[in-house]
Chains A and B, each alone.
Chain A
Amino acid sequence: MAVIVAQHLTKKFKELVAVDDVSLEIEDGECFGLLGPNGAGKTSLIRMITAVSPPTSGDIRVLGKDLKVYPREVKAVLGVVPQVDNLDEDLRVLQNLTTFARYFAIPKQEARRRSLELLHLFQLEDKIDSRIRELSGGMKRRLLLARGLINQPQILILDEPSIGLDPQAKHLVWQKLFELKAQGVTQLLCTQNMEEAAALCDRVTIMHLGKVLAQGSPRALISGHVGDEVLEIEANSGNRKRIIEALSGRGLDLVDAGDIIQVFRATREELAGVLANFPERLRQRPTTLEDVFFKLTGRALTE
């Protein structure tokens, strides 16, 4: 069963079309990744799904409820972890959670119990009475995650949850997200970290300039768009142009990535003939989601 159904969503800001006729369905209990370079429309899409920003056109249903009609009921079952730190700096750490619980009308005793439990879970129990500005970036991010869980959400929406975290903190966060998934919490994860998407997501959607370019499991996207292996030629010398000319005559699936030339779905033997006349090194490695991302969204900066 799909818990989030978005149909023909469009969001316009004056001339800019941030989200352009996007439809997607997120299944109960899955972790769904939303990938795309800056300006792809991910954050606009998330703001619409969390009922913070009204769509210019299109419909969203969450757990069968129309978001336009039941925004409060929907927001009550969502946990939102924003990309921008918006912790309440006028309140201490524990108060941040108990005050947030009050927005969800959680009774005082229960709010305190859950808050302490979450602070323990995210290893922040030493910071109960600290000011927000005394926390490190990693601690703030963990507190934002804890805050997103205060209402025991059925659906967790995360915008770049591990941005700015050191590897230890990142793995703590990933581990919590795995545990939540095991408990049946649906997750919508917006990220630019391909390693994170591959590690956590059952399915991902790649967005670019407001549109969905591809959707599927990370594995299926990789084999469908770039195959299992990629051959890379380190061509930073003057031979680069000649190598590309020689390769492109053979109908190979290649990408000119600056100082390296990538060839997908080819064997070493196929290239050996072409490269026989050049000294450049050839190496082979397994493909990743990042290769799919580059292939679909290009290498140029979008902003």
Chain B
Amino acid sequence: MKFFSWRFIRMWQRNRDVFLRLWHSEAPGFVAEPVLVLVAMGLGLGAYIGTVDGVRYIEFIVPGIIASYGMFSASFECTYGSFFRMEEHKTYDAIIATPLTAGDVIAGEIFWGATRSLITGTVILAVAAAFQLVHSPWALLIPPLSFLGGVLFASIAILYTSLVPSFYSFNYYFTLFITPMFFFSGVFFPLSAFPEIVHTISWIIPLTPVVTIARALVWGEVHPGLLWALAIIIVFIVIFFSISLVTMRRRLTV
């Protein structure tokens, strides 16, 4: 069974056009906030902490901020954004009456969500580099990593969006799923700080492998063990992407 075709690019282009017209109203979310967090936590808290794993605290948190704000961008886009297009504006209904299928629309949404993650990750990387917090050419792989992480978080978000009845349901998504990931995946302190049991659980949190790879790239400490983290991300993507296509198609083509 074919899930979607190259025509998904039409949906992606539609979202890109809207973004290019309205990006300045969204910039506080994907530029200002992460930079504020980086400065406040990195310099403020960092002054007390000193070094973590042998690096300055602000340098420690840069990769995690890149990964987690990429996650936020993809998640917002494919929850509130997608739900609004689907239920309020009935944009999906209009598009699936054209040669695009429900699968194309969903794939377009997920890849657009991933693109938002890529934009966010790249902007934060550029800011961090401007403050000389990035020292390795491996960091050039941050944009593709942000995209890959974006595909994962957009897929999970679309899956959730395909199941919920109203906007209010997204409060649960962010409070019970996204925010805990932000704190339990090694963004602000090493996972080894947790008791053994929490440490183990945090390894199956989808954000953890993304943070781990981002940290290795920014610090230039790339090693074969990262392939495991990459494998976890890809397995998660295969699972969530395919389920979200099925559940969303079921919702759209009743």
Binding site for B on A (CB under 8 A): 13, 50, 52-54, 71-73, 75-76, 78, 80, 82, 84-91, 95, 99-100, 102-105, 151
Contact = CB atoms under 8 A, between A and B. Distances in A.
Q: What is the interface residue range for chain B against chain A?
A: 20 to 34
A74 B100 CA distance: 11
A128 to B, nearest CB: 15
Nearest to B93: A86
Contacts of B5: 72
B249 to A, nearest CB: 10
B94 A53 contact: no
A105 B10 CA distance: 8
B99 A82 contact: no
Contacts of B101: 71-72
Contacts of A50: 97
A82 B89 CA distance: 13
10 contacts: A52-B93, A53-B253, A53-B254, A72-B99, A86-B89, A86-B91, A91-B18, A99-B14, A103-B10, A105-B10
Given A84-B90, A90-B18, A102-B10, A54 B97 contact: no
A53 B254 CA distance: 5
Given A72-B99, A72-B101, A87 B94 contact: yes
Contacts of A104: 98-99
Interface string B77-94: 000000001000111011
Contacts of A90: 18, 21-22, 85, 89, 91
B232 interface: no
Nearest to A92: B21
Given A53-B253, A91-B17, A95-B17, A100 B98 contact: yes
Nearest to A88: B91
Contact of B89 (A13, A73, A89): A89
Interface string B116-136: 000000000000000000000
A76 B99 contact: yes
Given A72-B101, A95-B17, A103-B99, A88 B94 contact: yes
B95 interface: yes
A13 B7 CA distance: 30
Contacts of A73: 99
Contacts of A85: 90
B99 A86 contact: no
Interface of B: 5, 7, 10, 13-14, 17-18, 21-22, 85, 89-91, 93-101, 253-254
Contacts of B14: 88, 91, 99, 102
A52 B94 CA distance: 10
Nearest to A132: B89
Nearest to A13: B254
Contacts of B100: 103
The 6 closest A-B pairs by CB, nearest first: A86-B90, A103-B98, A86-B94, A80-B97, A90-B18, A72-B99
B79 to A, nearest CB: 17
Contacts of B91: 86, 88, 90
A236 B94 CA distance: 48
Given A88-B89, A90-B89, A102-B10, A52 B18 contact: no
A51 to B, nearest CB: 8
A290 B149 CA distance: 60
A52 B98 contact: no
A52 B105 CA distance: 13
B61 to A, nearest CB: 34
A78 B97 CA distance: 8
A87 B94 CA distance: 7
Contacts of A100: 94, 98
A103 B96 CA distance: 9
Nearest to A84: B90
Contacts of A78: 97
B254 A103 contact: no
Given A86-B94, A95-B17, A99-B17, A75 B99 contact: yes
Contacts of A53: 253-254
B98 A82 contact: no
Contacts of B21: 90
Given A90-B18, A95-B17, A52 B99 contact: no
Nearest to A103: B98
Contact of A102 (B13, B18, B93, B94): B13
Nearest to A78: B97
Contacts of A91: 14, 17-18
